[in-house]
Amino acid sequence: MPQLDTSTWFTTILSMFLTLFVIFQLKISKHTYHPNPGTTLPMTQKQLTPWETKWTKIYSPLSLPLQY
């Protein structure tokens, strides 16, 4: 049975890491960033729901007076 030749593995793995590094650098360099993302505020619209127009009070069982 022939032996597995591992003499080129170091070169293959090193070239793979170098290629991945170059590809990621190219992807990052082509990415456009906003000039100042903190200055813009999102405009949200308030949607009224039926239960917001009514006055309701929810009583917790623990806050009710004790009945003996």
Main-chain dihedrals φ then ψ at residue 6, nearest 5 degrees: -105, 15
Domain map (residue ranges) of the chain: 6-59
Say how many C-beta atoms besides its own lie within 10 A of residue 58's C-beta.
Answer: 5
Residue 10's pLDDT is 94
How far apart, in whole angstroms, are the C-alpha atoms of residue 22 and residue 28? Answer: 10
- Between CA 45 and CA 17 the distance in angstroms is 48
> Residue 16's pLDDT is what?
98
- Taking residue 34's Cβ as centre, other Cβ atoms within 10 Å add up to 8
pLDDT, tens only, 2-59? 788 888 999 999 999 999 999 999 999 988 877 776 665 666 777 666 666 666 666 6
